[in-house]
Amino acid sequence: MSESALPTLNTWVEIPKNSDFTIYNLPFGVFKNKKLSPRIGVAIGDKIVDLSVLDQEGFFSSLFLPEGIFMNDSLNELIALGKAQTKKIRERVQNLLLEENEELKNHSARGKVMVNRKEAEMLLPVKIGDYTDFYSSIEHATNVGKMFRDPENALLPNWKHLPVGYHGRASSIVVSGTPIHRPKGQFKDPDMEKPAFGPSRRLDFELEMAFITGKQTKLGDTVSTGEAEEYIFGMVLFNDWSARDIQAWEYVPLGPFLGKNFGSSISPWVVTLEALEPFRVEGPIQEPEVLDYLKCEKSHSFDINLEVFIQPEGKKASKVCTSNFKHMYWNIAQQLAHHTVNGCNINVGDMMASGTISGSTENSYGSMLELSWKGSKAVPLEDGEERKFIEDGDTVIMKGFAEKDGIRVGFGEVAGQILPAKN
């Protein structure tokens, strides 16, 4: 636990007030623009540090990196260098951006290194090999249990003993800004005699965060909770789009399928665990006691403020949810330990999402399913609009940031617009 205040770092880069991308953050992403082919950069203020140019100019010569490591359309190869190396790269960038460091500040290549973020197009940061979605918020699982099963026994008997999860589809995970067509499928509401087919009428978002694995294991290997963070490179915001009507009809007995795999959206900047370190907090008390392989020596929870906005086409965005990542009952180390306890292997670039992150108050529910309580009440938006679920043309925007002692480390946002179903 780092309870002491962070040392103050000043940078020569102009950082707008409330910027997510401070000198303390320095997340990695993949970008291109009209002139530049895809490459790896680090966000700071309104700029991107083009790491490929820094490398060409010899700024990383003491690290002996593989040639062209930053001229890549994904972070996988970089992440695969291992945490010791990626930490050094991030520290070197941080050092070059410090007010007192003149190496880059006064270098002739400075203009070429610092790219305007506004003019850049962000790409999917990792080639995602496998994607797993957990179900780790006790508030969310309890709400869903109350709605669909027994309000008196909302949690299923296994829930407090293991982090429930399922294998999702990696191919349909897209970067923020990518529109998603309303999915079509089968549904059968309780009042319907037989199933029908058509565009989903209960399209929803799920407010989640996801971690990206940075180290491979072999089939048969396990990762303990104590080792888990060595295997986690960083985190992104994750919108796990969900078609509730399709999901409700199809999920028995094998779990989520077409109600989920039509698309998930992620934020483009991967915030490292190193940047999140100051925001580590105690997690919730787990009662009953968990089995030994799920016990943790230290806390793996992080205080990250989360917000969801709905913006109807051509209208103002309205905030519909304020939550926090620290609410999660099961933490990232327990999720990874459980995932591998049977010998399931992981690869660099796997993505593991948290499950919907709901808090205990009604304004902290992380899905429309909960906010509208299964569609039984409308959620008011600005301009007299209201929603029970997501309509065509709506853009859903999720934001996340951690803040402490005046230091801010944020994720930017993940935004996605829902287009009408394709014919």
Q: Which stretch binds Mn ion (CB under 5 A): 49-57, 130-138, 177-185, 415-423?
A: 130-138
300 catalytic per annotation: no
Contact 309, 318 (CB under 8 A): yes
Cis peptide before 288 (omega within 30 of 0): yes
- Locate tokens 């997340």: which residue? 27
139 binds Mn ion (CB under 5 A): no
Choose, from 107, 140, 327, 338, the residue flagged as catalytic: 140
Three-state SS for 314-358 is CCCCEEEEEEEHHHCCCCHHHHHHHHHCCCCCCCCCCEEECCCCC
Number of residues that bind Mn ion (CB under 5 A): 3
The smaller minimum CB distance to Mn ion, of residues 50 and 133, is found at 133
Strands 351-353 and 131-134: parallel
CB of 131 to Mn ion, least distance (A): 10
Measured CA to CA, the distance from residue 60 to residue 81 in angstroms comes to 14
283 to 312: interface string for Mn ion, x by CB under 5 A: ------------------------------
Which of residues 136 and 395 has its CB atom nearest to Mn ion in the complex? 136
206 contributes a contact to Mn ion by CB under 5 A = yes
Taking the least distance from each CB to Mn ion, the nearer of 223 and 351 is 351
In the complex, minimum distance from the CB of residue 133 to Mn ion, in angstroms, rounded to a whole number: 4
One-character DSSP codes across 206-242: BEEEEEEE-S---TT----TTTGGGGEEEEEEEE--E
Task: Tell me which DSSP letter residue 180 carries.
Answer: E
Among 55, 133, 370, 413, binds Mn ion (CB under 5 A): 133
Residue 265: closest CA among 164, 122, 141, 402? 122
**The binder of Mn ion chosen from 130, 139, 240, 350 (CB under 5 A):** 240
Options 79-87, 95-103, 201-209, 414-422: segment touching Mn ion (CB under 5 A): 201-209
Q: What are phi and psi of 145, to 5 degrees?
A: -60, -40
Q: Which residue's CB is nearer to Mn ion, number 136 or number 225?
A: 136
- Chain residues binding Mn ion by CB under 5 A are 133, 206, 240
Residues annotated as catalytic are 140
